[in-house]
Amino acid sequence: MRSGIVKRRRSLLPGDPLGALAELVLRFPVRTLVLTGCALLVAAVAAVGVDENLHHGGTTPPGSEWARAEHTLSTAFRGGSPTVTLVATTGAGGSVDDPAAVRAGTRLAERARGLPKVVGVRSYWAGRPASLRGGDGRSALVLLRVASSEATAHKDVEPLLRELTGRHGPLEVAATGPTPVGLAIERQSRLDLHRTELLAAPLTAAVLVVVFGGVVAAGLALAVGLCAVVGAVAFLSGLSHLTTVSVIALNLTTALGFALAVDFSLFMLARYREERARFREERDPGEAVHQALVATVCSTGRTVVCSALTVIGSLAALLVFPLGMLRSVAYGGIAVVGLSALLAITALPAALLLLGPRIDALSVRRRRPWTVPDGGRWYRLAYGVMRRPVPVVLVLGAVLTALVLPFAGARFGTFDDRALPAGSATRQATDTVRRDFDHHALNPVQVALPGLDARRGASALEGYAVRLSRLEHVVRVETSTGTYREGRRVGPPERGHGYASPAGVWAAVVTDAGPETAQGAEVARAVRAVSSPVPALVGGTQAWLADLGDTIRAGVVPALSLIAVVTLLLLGWCTRSVVLPLKALVLNVLSLSATFGVMVWVFQEGHLSGWLGGVTVTGVTDTVVPVLVLCVAFGLSMDYEVLLLSRTVEEHEAGASTRRAVARAVQHTAGLFTASALVVIVVMTALAASGLLLLKVVGLGLAVAVFVDATVIRLLLAPALMALLGRANWWVPAVRPALQSLVPMKR
């Protein structure tokens, strides 16, 4: 074999960078793999302990009014609604007013006051306010205001929770609130990451063994996927030292990287076997293997590069949004996609050269030939669709439109503690608060009025509170001058809130709208629109959601524009056509719209929730999820589009008519992208097995998007549309002679 490797190679097309890369890699296959192994070892060391540096959150728009309000309330006012709520419960038959419970609760509050970063404590056992005592008398609350951010919650709040939760005399103490919920989501994300890996790897291996009919080929594709994941995790580990990285990015990046690396390997291995069958006339088996690998890198390698660039372009659209979670997913996704493509066109060909015929070792069944003549089942399916393109387009268009319809009723909000598994201690504590306390009063819209003197400005403050209390969905307003309902003062404020301080005054606007709903966000916007005696800063969960929604809306058009431009340019380069990229863009939009409809139908409306482990239906669609699914799923869908279109162009340039080119392309690629889709669906279904609602939604959404794309779109709708377009598929506008070498015209 070695003698064949060192022989003079067949000349490449001049200026073909992939061909030159293939020659370089195949000239030094051992060095290539050693270099890859060394890089992998370094990455594995760098990846150790990465999850300790990642954080939940990253959905706060920088410089938002909510962020400024929260900072002002914590630092200047040392007040505001609680960031940590301690729920203390007694045993059966006990009461929080028993002497032993009173002593334990008082000590608990005193211990909390002495802890670092705690800037405010309000306890039931200090004054016995009825609002902090459960209806059954067996539970009471201690409310803490902690000066901490998402990035420092690990350092600031986790030690505090370890100190204050657990058994305290007759009281069992659990924690809830925005920060404890965020920390619980972090812990669950780490647990789910390991579960996803344990589920996805063996299932993917089984799928690949069936597809390739051999253990060695399947193991090679799996190894490329694992290498890509290790490299991506190492990248996120390094990135976490420079900026805040969301723990959700780790879950999505590893799942996406594993799926795409296996996909790219699948495409390369299948084409390699096809090319190797063409070079059987070579006397030297080593030369045949080499020529097949060069041809594979020059053909399918180009497809892999184009596909990777398209996915990277889709992920880059997430960078338009100034949100840490979306940006960290973009950074990690771009890194893992680029690494997956690089491994597929370098390390994989080097390994195939060294393995030679042994790539077919340990076969578990008779392997089918990869060069399939016209007339196969996929060929017949494509031709059958193209014989009746109008009925196919009309029927499938109607089906996809029906799937889209639920999305019209989407109610955007945010997932709260109910995103956690039902058995989570944090969620159970929040369930207690919802059941036994005034949950809305504990999560008011907070209005900070810095610089307003509580005494000198009492009249102006009262007028402002009266105006706020008249707003729709506002139940009452509490501030230093009293409690207000429906435009009039009804009594003094509840003791212990500390609405006035040397820094100014703040007010609590209690609403009947859920703080995590779009209705709550509208209340926050209405509060901001009311004239105030001094410039006001509006905070609370409702204001955060309003700022988040405004940020998402502002970025949607630029993000979609970026995706469209990148897709058109890359597919135009790959297919040298104008119509085919436009057709691909329209089909992807239709496919993703149907996916969004399914997500709303399942998670917002609650259908099939029992099949997903008893999902808690919150009645809202998370504001960030559609953007996340859009950018990731669009890239995954284009992966199959590039594979199909590249082969169609190749067949058409070889002289086939449009219909025959499409049928041949489907015959050669349908088995690949359906197998590839099965791999992605396995990985994303494992992600959907997460205990977190966010990962369930994203995992199921991506699995549905890939399934619809690989079946309805690529196998049926795309061939039907190409049959309808006919010669128009290959139309390219007239170009100047100087540009004709860059954009060759179709014949």
Percentage of the chain modeled with pLDDT above 70 = 91
Pairing type for strands 621-622 and 412-413 reads parallel
Q: What is the pTM of this model?
A: 0.83
Angle 537-55-53 (CA atoms, 0-180°, nearest 5)?
Answer: 135
The answer to whether 2 touches 283, Cβ cutoff 8 Å, is no
d(CA 104, CA 121): 15
- Nearest Cα residue to 454 out of 516, 401, 506, 497: 506
pLDDT for residue 684: 84
The answer to whether 64 touches 538, Cβ cutoff 8 Å, is no
Q: Is the dihedral of CA 505, 511, 515, 518 positive or negative?
A: negative
Distances (CA, A) of 357 to 108, 265, 286: 71, 17, 10
The answer to whether 572 touches 581, Cβ cutoff 8 Å, is yes
Dihedrals phi, psi of 110, to nearest 5 degrees: -65, -40
The answer to whether 345 touches 297, Cβ cutoff 8 Å, is yes
pLDDT confidence tier of residue 150, bands split at 50, 70 and 90: low
Query: Which tokens go with 457?
Result: 């400005």
pLDDT for residue 1: 37
Dihedrals phi, psi of 140, to nearest 5 degrees: -150, 165
Is the pLDDT at 124 greater than 60? The verdict is: yes
- Nearest Cα residue to 650 out of 582, 733, 575: 575
pLDDT confidence tier of residue 108, bands split at 50, 70 and 90: very high
Mean pLDDT for 302-323 is 90
pLDDT for residue 284: 62
Mean pLDDT for 45-69 is 81
Query: Which tokens go with 177?
Result: 């609130």
Mean pLDDT for 180-194 is 79
Is the pLDDT at 6 greater than 50? The verdict is: no
d(CA 254, CA 474): 44
In the chain, the largest separation of any two C-alpha atoms, in whole Å, equals 99
d(CA 88, CA 31): 63
Is the pLDDT at 32 greater than 90? The verdict is: yes
pLDDT confidence tier of residue 672, bands split at 50, 70 and 90: confident
The answer to whether 693 touches 419, Cβ cutoff 8 Å, is yes
Element (H, E) at 446: strand 445-450
pLDDT for residue 726: 87
Higher pLDDT, 129 or 368: 129
Mean pLDDT for 180-197 is 77
**For residue 355, which amino acid is it?**
L
pLDDT for residue 734: 60
* 345 CB neighbour count, 10 Å cutoff: 23
Tens-digit pLDDT profile for residues 494-520: 776 778 888 899 999 999 988 888 899
Distances (CA, A) of 592 to 399, 561, 723: 13, 16, 23
Beta pairing partners, 173 = 88, 166
Is the pLDDT at 543 greater than 90? The verdict is: yes
pLDDT for residue 374: 60
pLDDT for residue 157: 86
The answer to whether 164 touches 120, Cβ cutoff 8 Å, is no
pLDDT confidence tier of residue 63, bands split at 50, 70 and 90: confident
Is the pLDDT at 397 greater than 70? The verdict is: yes
Tens-digit pLDDT profile for residues 200-242: 778 878 887 887 777 888 888 888 988 998 998 899 888 888 8
d(CA 338, CA 300): 16
* 258 CB neighbour count, 10 Å cutoff: 29
Is the pLDDT at 471 greater than 80? The verdict is: yes
* 302 CB neighbour count, 10 Å cutoff: 20
- Nearest Cα residue to 677 out of 626, 643, 629, 719: 643
Residue 519 makes CB contacts below 8 A (sequence gap 6+) with 473, 513
Dihedrals phi, psi of 425, to nearest 5 degrees: -60, -35
**For residue 525, which amino acid is it?**
R
d(CA 2, CA 72): 72
Q: What would the DSSP string read from start to end of 115-136? A: STTEEEEEETTTT--GGGB-TT
pLDDT for residue 261: 87
pLDDT for residue 391: 92
Residue 114 Cα to chain centre, angstroms: 39
The answer to whether 597 touches 666, Cβ cutoff 8 Å, is no
- Nearest Cα residue to 444 out of 473, 486, 411, 415: 473
pLDDT confidence tier of residue 557, bands split at 50, 70 and 90: very high
